[in-house]
A and B are shown apart, each in its own frame.
Chain A
Amino acid sequence: MDQEQRFLGVLGSSPFRIAVVYSIAFALGAVALLGAVYFAVSEVVDGSTDNLIEAEVQGLREQVLVLSRSDFIELIEQRSQDQDVRGAVYLMVDPQLRPVAGNVPAWPKIAADQGKWIQFKVSVPFGDETREHEMRAQRFPLPNKYQMLVGHDVQERQDVKSLMMRGLIAAVVLTMLLGLGGGFWMGRRILAQAGAISAVATQIMRGDLSQRLPVRDAEDEINTLAREINSMLDKIEQLTLGMRTVLDSAAHDLRTPLNRLQATAEAAMSQLAPASPERRVLERVTTEVDRMRSTLDALLRIALAETGTVAREAVDLSELVGSMVELYAPVSEERGIRLESSVIPGVQVQGSRQLLAQALANLLDNAIKFTPEGGHIRVFLRQGGSGPEVIVEDDGPGIPADKREIVLGRRVRLDQARKLPGSGLGLSLVAAVTKLHGARLVLDDAEPGLRVALKF
């Protein structure tokens, strides 16, 4: 299967296509060149034999008028034995078509509508064996219904022609084979290089910025390109690391004062009586600190996912989806919502288990928030067209088609959601985590309700 796919991949590669076009062009060239030679040669060879026969016929027609029958027979016999005129054939037959003189054993079968020229085969001794030779001849009547056949062995001519034809075919086939073979070889070479490059590129896009494209010693275009891309990657890596540093210091600079605020509030609260109004005020302060913290956590996680600098591991997606469903099942049941799931086993992806869990938690939190009592939430992990798909669908109000793009942006909360708790970062985080994993986030109508699909 894999090998077949690689083979088909080579056939689709651009070097192979170019090679096919060139092979066809060269083959056409060979056909034109050798064809012209073929026709020129056959014309010369055919023409000269035909002229020879015509002349001989002309000569004999004149002789028959002046010679007696016995002299004419003798002439024919003489000519038949003459070694100088190699390949010349003669046959004189009586009215019953019985041979009288000549070097052809029998009168050939001649169709009634046959024209001036006839072609037939004669067995000719060839060493110890005999060979069928092609003969070309003309016939003419003799006095007393005798007939005369004058011709020439054209086997040699046929041999030359068929040799040329075979040469022509061989040249075309060889041109095609060399062209296609060369194209296939080049295609494979380019594909191997391109394959190595795209494998690395995939890893880089998934966030492993330490990867570099393979560069060979050769100074060809692909290597030059790879080198340039590598130096571009160096820059991107520096920038990303820089962003990570900025992110870390931003996190530090926000978390430290929040921590002080929390500590100060808690310290003050410990001095106050449990039900005092001052204590209640401070409790509100810590509640706000909690809220700021969870918004900050979400923002930082989104930023982390977007810079792509999160460590990856093999994540058992089946286990993850299963345990998230199990984690949320009691809370949805308590709210009168049925949480159903269908999870295929053994699905693994490369990524961050914690971020995937957070994304799934956000989807489930959302689904529970928006699904009315008596509603359903369905969670699927299934094999989609291009890879595994995690799907969370509910039969709540859904998101109108024209707002689906917008809600993926940061801090967007549709009107109906404003009265519900939440930072509005839930789906943005899902989108960032999905992108980090090289997956696609698709919002759809579950008729009724919302269907969110993460397509890996």
Chain B
Amino acid sequence: MHILIVEDDQVARDYLAKALREAGHTVDVAVDGLAGLHLASSIALDIAIVDRMLPKLDGLALVQSLRATGRKTPVLILSALGEVDDRITGLRAGGDDYLTKPFHMSELLARIDALARRGESGNSEANTKLKLADLELDRMTRRVIRGGKKIELTAREFQLLEFMMRHSGQVVTRTMLLEGVWDYHFDPQTNVIDVHISRLRQAIDKDFEKPLLHTVRGAGYSLREDE
């Protein structure tokens, strides 16, 4: 993927660029908002990572200007602000995702992956039937079948599985799940998400030889066919 990083903090920028290059992406960097906007509107990008507070042109203004020119490049906003409604203003300005500093690289990588593959996977928004290996989920009838056998799920487990299937093959972090499935943005002190996942795993993997729901150490979970 071709990724643009607009970040004025050198340490953060260098590490981000290095980590993304190591993950196999092509990376461009800009150190202020104006340079960032110039790059973002002149080259074909898969993703832009934009710091919220930038010299010359504020991160939010950058995203707004980019959207005004009709560019739909997915944008991940990095913020060092107070949060709560800063997230809302960030998303309203045209950002696609929002991450507060400090963050784990695994969190950022999972989020860019999700952003880049949004809409491209076979399990996109429009599909009423989601499929992975012998697991099938029907959004209309709200039925889940694996290997021809019907699986009983609670409403929330169903939503959780739907989210995982939409992101199948990707790493999904706990905060992504809490945001995507529950629409909450906080760090629970207890491992609430892990318990929900283990229940879902119990329901879909227990009676089958090949597990589909995998734990990715230090990052989160992944629903995928292999291994």
A354 to B9, CA, bound (A): 29
Closest beta carbon of chain A to B2's beta carbon, Å? 22
Nearest-Cβ distance from residue A411 to partner chain B, whole angstroms: 15
Whether, in the assembled complex, A137 has its beta carbon less than 8 Å from a beta carbon of chain B, the answer is: no
Q: How many A residues touch the partner, as a band?
A: 35 or more
Which residue of chain B has its CB nearest to the CB of A269?
A: B105
Q: State the Cβ distance, A348 to closest chain B Cβ, in Å.
A: 17
**Residues of chain B lying within 8 A (CB to CB) of residue A264:** 11, 15
Q: In the complex where A247-B82, A256-B9, A331-B195 touch, is A266 in contact with B15 (Cβ < 8 A)? A: yes
Check if A258 sits within 8 Å of B83, measured CB to CB: no
Known: A267-B18, A354-B186, A361-B186. A256 touches B85 (CB 8 A): no
Nearest CB of A to B53, in Å: 6
Task: Answer whether residue A343 sits at the interface, using C-beta atoms and an 8 A cutoff.
Answer: no
Indicate if A368 sits at the interface (CB-CB under 8 A): yes
Q: Which of B38-46, B95-103, B114-122 contacts A (4 or more CB under 8 A)?
A: B95-103
The minimal Cβ–Cβ distance linking B202 to chain A, given in whole angstroms, is 11
Shortest distance between the CB of A237 and any CB in chain B (Å): 17
B59-83 interface code vs A (CB 8 A; 1 in, 0 out):
0000000000000000000001111
**Known contacts A331-B190, A354-B186, A368-B190; A301/B84 CB under 8 A:** yes
Chain A residues positioned under 8 Å from B83 (CB to CB): 251, 297, 300-301, 304
Are B85 and A310 in contact (CB-based, < 8 A)? yes
Cβ–Cβ < 8 Å partners of B192 in chain A: 327-328, 330-331
Asked if B133 CB lies within 8 Å of chain A CBs, one says no
Considering only CB atoms and an 8 Å cut-off, how many residues of chain B contact the other chain? 36
Residues of A within 8 A of B103 (CB): 259, 262
Alpha-carbon distance A354/B85, docked complex (angstroms): 9
For the complex, what is the distance from the CA of A358 to the CA of B15, rounded to whole Å? 32
Query: How far in angstroms is the closest Cβ of chain B from A248?
Result: 5
Measured in the bound complex, the distance between the Cα atoms of B189 and A293 in whole Å is: 13
A259-B101 in contact (CB<8A): yes
Q: Chain B nearest CB: distance from A368 CB in Å?
A: 6
What is the chain B residue whose CB lies nearest that of A263?
Answer: B15
Q: B6-33, CB under 8 A of A: which get 1 and which 0? A: 0001011001101100100000000000
- How far apart sit A381 and B4, CA to CA, in the bound complex (Å)? 47
Least CB separation from A334: chain B residue: B195
Report 10 cross-chain contacts, Cβ distance below 8 Å, ordered by A residue.
Answer: A248-B81, A260-B12, A262-B102, A301-B84, A328-B190, A328-B192, A330-B196, A330-B199, A331-B190, A331-B192
17 more CB-based (< 8 A) A-B contacts, given A263-B12, A294-B187: A248-B82, A252-B81, A256-B80, A262-B103, A263-B11, A263-B102, A301-B82, A327-B188, A327-B192, A328-B190, A330-B199, A331-B190, A334-B195, A354-B186, A355-B84, A357-B186, A361-B184
